[in-house]
Structure 1
Amino acid sequence: MTRTAQPRLDELSPRAAAAAVRRRLDATELRTFVHSSPAKLIAIGLLLLLLCLAAGIVTASAVSSRQHALDRLLDESEPEANSAQRLYTSLSVADAAAGTAFISGGLEPELVRDRYTQAIGQAAAELVVQSRTGADDPDLPLRTGIATQLPVYTGLIETARANNREGHPVGAAYLSEASNLMQTTMLPNARRLQEHRADAITATQHRHVQPPWAAIVLPIATLGALLTAQLYLARRWRRLLNPGLLLASGTLVILLTWTVAAGAISAVSTMRGRDDGAVPTSELTESRILTQQARAAETLKLVRRDTGGDYDHTYNDAIAQLTTRMAGYPGDAPGSGDVTTARGALDRWQQAHQRMNDALTRGDFPGAGMVAIGPGATGAAAQVDSLDNALRDGISDTRDELRGEISDAARSLDLLSPGALTLSVLAAVFVVAGLWPRLREYR
C-alpha cells in the first residue's frame, strides 16, 4: 500500500496550516501522555507502597520501644527502687532499734535484739540486690559507701553493747558515734540512692505520656499522599473514586485511630501509676524514715540523759514533718486507710513521749525508760510499732497500685505492634490492587 504524502505547510492555506499544526501537536501530546503515564503510575505506586510500609514499621517500632521501656520499668527499675526504699528503711529501723536495746541495760530483750538483727540483715540483703545493677551504675559510690560503712556501724554498736553490759558509761559514747555515722553518712547515701531509683521511674513515666509523634505524623502524611493520588487519578481518567486507594486510606485511618486510642489508654494508666503509685509511695517512705529518725532521737535522749534539748529538737522536727505529710495525704489515694491508722498511732506516741519527758523532768529515769521501751499498749514502743506497720502496709498498697497500672499500660499496647505491620502490608496490597487496572490499560 502506497502511503499518501502529507502536504507541506507552506502549500496549505493559513487556516488549513493552523489545523494541521494543531493535529500534529495533539498527536505529540497523546504520544507523550501514552508513554509517560505508566511511568507516573509506577512512581506513584512505589511512593504509596513505601509510605504505607514505612507507616507500619515506624508505628510498630515506636510501640515496641514503649513496651520494652514499660517492661523494663516493671521488671528492673521498680524492683530496684523498692529495694533502695527497703535499704533506706532498714538502716533507719536498725538505728532506732539499737538505741531501744541500749536503754534496757545489761542483756536487752530478745525481741528488741531480733528487731535490730533483722533490720541489719535486711539492709545487707538489699545491698546485694542493688549490686546487681553492675559496675557501670552511676550510683556505685553510694552503694560502696554504705557497704563499707555498715560493718563499721555494727562494730560500734557491738562495742557499745559490750560496755553497756559491763556498766561502763563509755558505751553511750560508742552508741552516739554509731548513730552519728548512720544519720550523717549512711542514711544520706541511702536516701540519694533511693531518690535516684525513684527518679528513674519518674523519667520513664514522663517519656511514656508524650505522644509518639512519628507514629502519628507518618500515617497522616500517608493519608495525604493517598488523597493526592486519588485526585490525580480522578483528573486523568475521569473517574471519581479508586476502590483500592479508598480501602488503603481506610486501613491507614484504622491504624491511626488504633495508635492514638491505645497510646492514650496507655498514657492514662501510666499517669495513674505515677499519681496513685509512685508519688504516694515516696511520701509514705519518707514518712516511715521520719518515724525512725524521731524514734532514734527519743531513745538517744534517754541514753545520753540529755537535758540540753538537742535530741528534742531532732524529734520535734521529724514529728512536725511527719504530721504535715500525713495530713496532706489524699483521702482517695491507695493506702489512705493505713495513713488514718498511722495518724492515730502518732497522736498516742506523742502523748507517750510527753509522759517520758515528764518522768525525766522529775528525775525518774526508770519510769521514763518504761514509757519509752516498756511492753505496755500505751507506751511509746507499741505506738511506734503500730505507726511503722501502718506505713509499711500503705507502701505495699501503693506499690501494688503502681505495678498494676504499669502492667495495664503495657497490656494496652500488646496487639498494636503486629497489628500495625499487618495493616500497613494490607494497605500496600490495596494500593497495588487500585493501580493495577490503570496500568493494564497501557498493554
Structure 2
Amino acid sequence: MARIEQATAVLRPSPTAELTARDSPGALRDSPAALRVAFLREQFDPARLRLFAGSSPGRLIAIGLLLITACVAAGWVTGTTVGDRQHTLNVLLDDTEPDAYSAHRLYTSLSIADAAASTAFIAGGLEPQAVRDRYSQAVGEAAAELVAETGRASGEPNGADDTDTRLRTGIATNLPVYTGVVETARANNRSGHPVGAAYLSEASNQMQTTVLPMAEELQSRRQAAVTEAQRNHVRPPWTAIVLVVLALVALVWAQFELAKRWRRVLNPGLLLASAAVLVLLGWTVVAGAVSATSMIHGRDDGAVPASRLTESRILAQQARSAETLKLVSRDATGDYDRTYDANIARLADLLGGYPSSAPAAEEVRNAIPALGRWRVAHQRMNDTLARGDYNGAAAVATGPGAADVAAQVEALDKALEQGIDTTRDTLRDNISRAARVLDFMGPGALVIGIVAAGCVGLGLWPRLREYR
C-alpha cells in the first residue's frame, strides 16, 4: 500500500505544475466550449453516423421517421386535394353555372326580341300591346343579363376572360344599334311608309349575323366551362390515393420488418396506424366515388338535357323570326321558308330524341304536340298567303285563336322554358350533393394522418427504450 501511495504521489503533478499547465496555451483546448464542439464533432462524425444507421436503434428511428412522414404526407395531400375539389364545386355552383345560365338567357332573350320585333310589323300600323311588351321585356332581360355577367366577371379573382369580355362588349355595343334601327322601322311602319320593312329586315339581319353569333359563342364558352369542371371532378384524385396506398404499404412492410429482425409479430401502435390509414383510404375512395357519381348524374340528367332544350328553344325563336319576316318582307324567294324548315326539322329531331327517363320529359311531351300544331298552322298560313290573302295569313300568324301560330309558339316556348328550369335544378342539386359528400373530409384526412403518425411513434418508442 505504501508503494502504491508513493507511486501515486510521484505521478500526481505538483500544485506549481498544475498552475503552469492551466496557464499554458494548450489549456484553451480543454475549455468547456471547446469540449462541447469536440463532443459534437465526435457525435456527428460521418463514420460514427454510418455505424449508428446500421445499428438496430438507427434502423428503428429511420423506420419511424419514414412512417411518420408517409402518414402525415398522405393526410395532408388528401386533405388539400379534397379541399381544392370542394372549392372547385362551390365555384361551379356559385359562379360558373350561373354564368352559363345567364349566357343562355342572354342568347334566348335576344332571339325572342328579334322574333317579337318581326311579329309587331305583320298587323301594320300600331302593333298590339302584348307583342310590344314582349319585345321590350326581351330587350330588357338581355340588357340585365349583360350587366349581371359583367358584374360576375369583374368579381372573379383572376379577372374576366379576354374573349368573354370581347363578346360581352360586342353585344352591348350592337344591341343599342339594333334597337335604334327597330325603332326607326316602327316609326315608318306607323306612318305607313313601306321603307319600314326594309329597316326591319336590316335590323333582323344585324341580329342574326352579328349579335346572335356572339351570344351563341359566349353561351358555348360558358357551357364549356361547366363541362370542363364536371370532367375534372369525375377524374379520381390519383395523387392522394397513391400516397395513402404507399403509406399503408410502408406500415405493412414495417410490421414484417419488426417481425423478422426484432421477433415482434404484432406492434399495437403500427396496427392502429395501419387501421387509421386504411380508414382514410376507404373514406377517400368511397366519398370520391359518390361525389363523382353525383357529378355524372348532374351531367347526364342536368347539363346534357338542358343543352338540348336550350338549343330547342333558340331554334323555335329563330324559326318564328323567319316565319314573321316572310310575311313582313312579302318574300317570294323562299329563303325564309328554307330557314324555317331547317330550324323546325332540327327542333323536331331534338324533341323526338329526348330520353323519356330524363328530367323534364313531361315538359317535352307537352312541347311535341305544340310543335305539331304549329307546323299545321304554319302550313295553313302559307296556303292562305299563296291564295293572295295577306291579311288572312297575317291573322293566322299573329291571331289570338287557339289554332293560330302565336298560341302554339307560346305553348312550345313555355314548355321548353319549364323544361330548362327543371334540368337546371337537377344539375344544381347534383353539384350540391357532390360537394356535401366531401364535407369534413379535408380536415378529417389531416387529422387521421396526424393520428396515424402519433400511433407510429407510440408503437416504436417502447422498442427504442430497450436500447438505452
TM-score by length of 2: 0.87
CA distance in 2, matches of 1:54, 1:121: 54
1:102 partner SS? coil
Structure whose CA Rg is larger: 2
- Within 1, Cα distance between the matches of 2:452 and 2:279? 11
> What corresponds to 2:42 in structure 1?
none
Q: CA deviation at 1:35?
A: 8.4
Provide the residue aligned with 1:422 in structure 2.
Answer: 447
The whole-number CA distance in structure 2 between the counterparts of 1:89 and 1:381 is 17
Task: Give the root-mean-square deviation of aligned CA atoms.
Answer: 1.2
Q: How do residues 47-62 of structure 1 correspond to structure 2 at under 5 angstroms?
A: 47-62=66-81
Residue 132 of structure 2 aligns with an amino acid whose one-letter code is R
1:137 aligns with 2:156: no
Report the Cα distance in structure 1 between the residues aligned to 2:328 and 2:160, rounded to whole angstroms.
43
1:163 aligns with 2:188: yes
Determine what percentage of the aligned residue pairs are the same residue. Answer: 64
- Displacement of 1:415 after TM fit? 1.8
Partner of 2:136: 117
Distance in 2, matches of 1:59 and 1:426, equals 14
| Counterpart in the other structure of 1:379 | 404
Counterpart AA for 2:374: W
How far apart are the structure 2 equivalents of 1:229 and 1:174? 84
- In the alignment, which residue of structure 1 is the partner of 2:334? 309
Whether 2:200 is the aligned partner of 1:181: answer no
Offset at residue 223 of structure 1 (A): 1.1
Q: For 1:209 and 1:160, how far apart are their aligned partners in 2?
A: 52
1:127 match: 146
Q: Does the CA contact (< 8 Å) of 2:52 and 2:58 recur in 1?
A: no
- The reply to whether residue 82 of structure 1 matches residue 101 of structure 2 is yes
Counterpart AA for 1:137: D
For 1:314 and 1:235, the matched residues in 2 are separated by 81
1:53 offset after TM fit, Å?
A: 0.4
Partner of 1:105: 124
2:319 aligned with 1:319: no
Residue 238 (structure 1) shift: 1.3
1:89 Cα offset (Å): 0.1
Whether 1:258 aligns to 2:288 is: no
Match of 1:5? none
Cα shift at 1:224: 1.3
- SS of residue matched to 1:414: coil
In 2 relative to 1, CA 315–411 (structure 1 residues): closer, same or farther, beyond 3 Å? same
What TM-score do you get using the length of structure 1 for normalisation? 0.92
Deviates more, 1:225-234 or 1:340-349: 225-234
Could you tell me how far 1:33 is from its partner in structure 2? 8.6
Query: SS at 2:356's partner residue?
Result: coil
Q: Deviations over 1:131-190 (max 9, x none)?
A: 121364231111111100000000010000000001000000000000000011110100
Structure 2 contact 53–59 (Cα < 8 Å) conserved:
no
* 1:406 and 2:431 aligned: yes
Q: Answer whether contact 1:78 1:201 (CA < 8 A) is retained.
A: yes
Higher mean C-alpha deviation, range 339-348 or range 226-235:
226-235
Output the CA distance in 2 between the equivalents of 1:432 and 1:141.
59
1:211-249 superposed Cα distances (whole Å, 9 cap, x missing partner) = 101111001111111112111211222121111101111
Letter in 1 for 2:72: L
CA–CA separation in structure 1 for the residues paired with 2:53 and 2:201: 97
